[in-house]
Amino acid sequence: MKKYITPFIIMLSLASCIPPGKLSESLEANTLLNKKYDTLNNKLNDTVASFSTSLSNLKGSINNLKDSVTYYRSLVAARQAQTQGDVFLNQMFGYSLLTTSELAGIKAANTSNNANNIWLESFKADVKKYSIADVDIKLNKGYVFVDIPSNILFTTGSARLSSKSIEKLGGIARLLEAQPNLNFLIEGHTDNIAFSDSSNNDNWNLSVNRAAAVAKILQNKYKIDPKRMIAAGRSEYMPMDDNNTKEGRLNNRRIRIVLMPSVKQLMNLNN
């Protein structure tokens, strides 16, 4: 019993030595410290909780980013896996040159037969065989475009073909002869420079006359069936380059032959 009484007596003795005012201040200071501790502890807990939430959100964002990267990589891979035929068909559909049912039919035949398109393969071979200098041949917008710079066919402001120009058209004629089932459009294009004289000549007349001149040579000299042809003038209104530069105007002055494959020729397109 003595071991418990003795410390109690000592504490009472010490307390009796502290002035009442000081004890009250000490107790108030202790209370304030406890309140500050509680406040800081609550802030710490809130900060930890906020950090945990932010960390969780960041992890979610990282996972979403990974999913997006995976998705776009798959799109790129799928696009790279598209064949030239797929791109060609999609272009034709996008420009309303194929209906939904026609596109579905071609792709269904493509899947079932798993064969290369005979027409496209033969056309590629003919393009290579009858390659013509200074002539650009490409698949675009569901058509085959053959662009011939007008400066290699005509002199400035003229629709008269020189003998050298007529020989140049011979290569085009051989390509057209090799594809007898293709109809085609001959387009005349000009730049936007107006005629300086006071005659009735203008870019509309020039573009039409140049297209007609090409059509007549293909018909009369190279015996291409005229029923396959349409000759038209586009004047300056379908430029392929900037008319504000000399080089651009040169590119815009051209004869374009647009070959139009039929839906039947596109069946089984897989290349």
CATH number at residue 126: 3.30.1330.60
Residues 35 and 98 in one domain: no
How confident is the model at residue 271, as a pLDDT? 43
The closest of 228, 210, 230 to 162, measured between CA atoms, is 210
Residues 236 and 255 in one domain: yes
Question: Is 177 domain-assigned?
Answer: yes
Residues 108 and 181 in one domain: yes
Q: Where a domain ends, among 74, 101, 131?
A: 74
How confident is the model at residue 255, as a pLDDT? 94
Residues 126 and 221 in one domain: yes
Residues 114 and 137 in one domain: yes
Residues 96 and 63 in one domain: no
**Cα–Cα distance list, 29 to 15, 107, 219, 225 (Å):** 17, 86, 112, 110
Residues 100 and 218 in one domain: yes
How confident is the model at residue 145, as a pLDDT? 86
Q: What are the tokens at 181?
A: 């089932």
Question: Is 271 domain-assigned?
Answer: no
From first to last of its 271 residues, the chain has per-residue pLDDT tens of 555 555 555 555 555 555 666 667 777 777 888 888 888 888 888 888 888 888 888 888 888 778 777 766 766 665 555 665 666 667 666 656 667 776 777 666 655 544 455 666 677 677 777 767 778 877 766 678 888 888 889 888 889 998 888 988 998 899 899 888 888 999 999 999 988 765 667 899 999 999 999 999 999 999 999 999 999 999 999 999 999 999 999 889 999 999 877 666 655 444 4
Residues 64 and 107 in one domain: no
Q: What are the tokens at 105?
A: 């039919």
Residues 14 and 66 in one domain: yes
The closest of 182, 235, 172, 227 to 209, measured between CA atoms, is 235
How confident is the model at residue 267, as a pLDDT? 54
How confident is the model at residue 115, as a pLDDT? 45
How confident is the model at residue 42, as a pLDDT? 85
Q: Where a domain ends, among 12, 43, 74?
A: 74
The closest of 197, 175, 201, 192 to 259, measured between CA atoms, is 175
At 114, the amino acid letter reads N
Q: Where a domain ends, among 54, 74, 94?
A: 74
Segments forming the whole domain that contains residue 41: 2-74
Residues 150 and 24 in one domain: no
Question: Is 100 domain-assigned?
Answer: yes
Number of domains into which the chain is organized: 2
Residues 34 and 149 in one domain: no
Residues 11 and 133 in one domain: no
